[in-house]
Structure 1
Amino acid sequence: MNFGRAPRRTTARTRSRRAARAAVLPVAVVTAALALTACGSGKSGGGGNTNFVASTSDGIDTVPKADRKAVGAIKGTTLDGKPLDVSSLKGKVVVLNVWGSWCSPCRAEAPHLAKVAGATQGKGVQFVGIDTRDTNKDQGVAFEKNYAIPYPSLYDPTGRLLLSGFPKGTLNPQAIPSTIVLDRQGKIAARALQALDEAKLKKMIDPLIAEK
């Protein structure tokens, strides 16, 4: 006789619960990944097989013009409720800054971003912020008002744009703050995974302004 435990039956209800747990897993993984990279140390690294040049002295990665790849779809609603599609900015040098009001390095770099954005606007440069992980827009709006940010910021509380907007093999935002600069063709040309000052911002932007 078999006195062991009877095999457990797999009911439809059990299978349903298992499927639900499996569906939740990717969200949990994404959330954990964002938490781990929040307010990063500024260490530089590549995003896949990327033909980029890493400047170890200042943490700025650049991509030769011939090897650049187009950024993905980055569009949504800004903190002031207006639609914005980064692809509509082709023809300009675009500076994408990933930030959150909760992030102290973001607060440290905000005055520098605001100053350089104003100084380069007449040179065909457009800054665009991506506000992530703020639980409501009021936090981001207060941040922009406090630091007199003169450019729009897309509201991306879940990090959706960060995950979908940068194709595999490109320089992508792996920390908060991150700054990524697109050339006039909408291709990823430079990246920094750290808070920036005016000198580093200009080092990323000026060569792209000068490109023909």
Structure 2
Amino acid sequence: MTFSRAPRRRSHRRRALALAAVATAGASVLTACSSGGVSGGSGDTNFVTQSGGISTVAEGDRQPAPELAGETLDGKQLDVASLKGKVVVLNVWGSWCAPCRAEAPYLTKVANETKAQGVEFVGINTRDSAKGPAQEFEKDFQVPYPSLYDPIGKLILRFPKGSLNPQAIPSTIVLDKDGRIAARALRALDDKGLHKMIDPLVAEK
């Protein structure tokens, strides 16, 4: 009697494909918690991406930031427009995001270092369905600045297409003193990367 081995071969092939898919997904998680589909982009852009992955816009080509206002994680109201006249660092993060945890100590460090220079940090906490885990995150890392609570990404989607909009979690966007979008990083940053984005804007008149 002869038995067919085709079903067994198909089973092995399906298992191999599934393992390959898992490996690919795992590799992407190491790069960023989430990317794509956060805010639209455009081929018609005026920004330059440097070798370190930081994109910048020349002063004359910057677009104004959208309205970013709402309730913070500690229940207060915050309007980013009220910070005009200062350099504003916006960090999009989630308590569930490993790269966000990796960069949190650097954000805290640089926020404290640059406060006297007229730099304000504001977090945008997203995809945390409840405030509790995000509040614990801020406590763990002694975050000295407020975070707007944006669980479904409404604030993030307000960034205009073709601008330096957030397209990953974490993302960091820096506004110049006139409230315009000047720089962006779509990855976790250390203190050197943050200073590379912030310091030129602090120096602008």
Alignment TM-score > 0.5, same fold:
yes
Equivalent in the alignment of 1:104: 98
2:47 is matched with 52
User: Are the counterparts in 2 of residues 97 and 178 from structure 1 also a CA contact under 8 Å?
Assistant: yes
2:89 matched residue in structure 1: 95
Contact 2:32 2:187 in 1 (8 A): no
Between the aligned partners of 2:114 and 2:150, the Cα distance in structure 1 is 25
Q: Which residue of 1 aligns with 2:70?
A: 76
**3-state SS of 2:168 partner:** coil
For the pair 1:142 / 2:136, whether they are aligned, the reply is yes
Check the 8 A contact 1:40/1:193 in 2, yes or no.
no
Shift of the 109–125 alpha-carbon distance from structure 1 to 2, 3 Å rule, reads same
Question: Partner amino acid for 2:93?
Answer: W
* Correspondent of 2:204 among 205, 208, 211: 211
The unaligned stretches of length 5 or more in structure 2 are 1-30
Q: 1:65 aligns with which of 56, 59, 70?
A: 59
The Cα of 1:47 is off from its aligned counterpart by: 2.7
Letter of the 1:206 partner, please give it: D
Partner in structure 1 of residue 23 of structure 2: none
Cα 1:69–1:144 shift into 2, 3 Å: same
- Please list the CA deviations of residues 104-156 of structure 1 after superposition, one character each: whole Å capped at 9, or x if unmatched: 00000000000000000000000000000001011110000000000000000
List structure 1 runs of 4+ shifted beyond 4 angstroms. none
Aligned length: 171
Asked if the contact 1:117/1:126 (under 8 Å) is kept, the reply is yes
Q: Distance in 2 between matches of 1:131 and 1:108?
A: 15
Q: Which residue in the other structure is 1:194 paired with?
A: 187
Q: 1:161 aligned to 2:131?
A: no
Deviation at 1:38, TM superposition (A): 6.3
Q: Which amino acid aligns with 1:133?
A: R
CA contact (8 A) 2:35 2:169 kept: no
**1-side partners of 2:65 and 2:178: how far apart?**
10
Matched-pair identity in %: 68
SS of equivalent residue, structure 1 residue 131? strand
TM-score (norm 1): 0.78
| TM-score (norm. length: structure 2) | 0.81
SS of the residue corresponding to residue 73 of structure 2 reads coil
CA RMSD of aligned residues (A): 1.6
Which segments of 5 or more consecutive residues in structure 1 lack a partner in the other structure?
A: 1-36
In structure 2, the residue matched to 1:114 is 108
Letter in 1 for 2:61: D
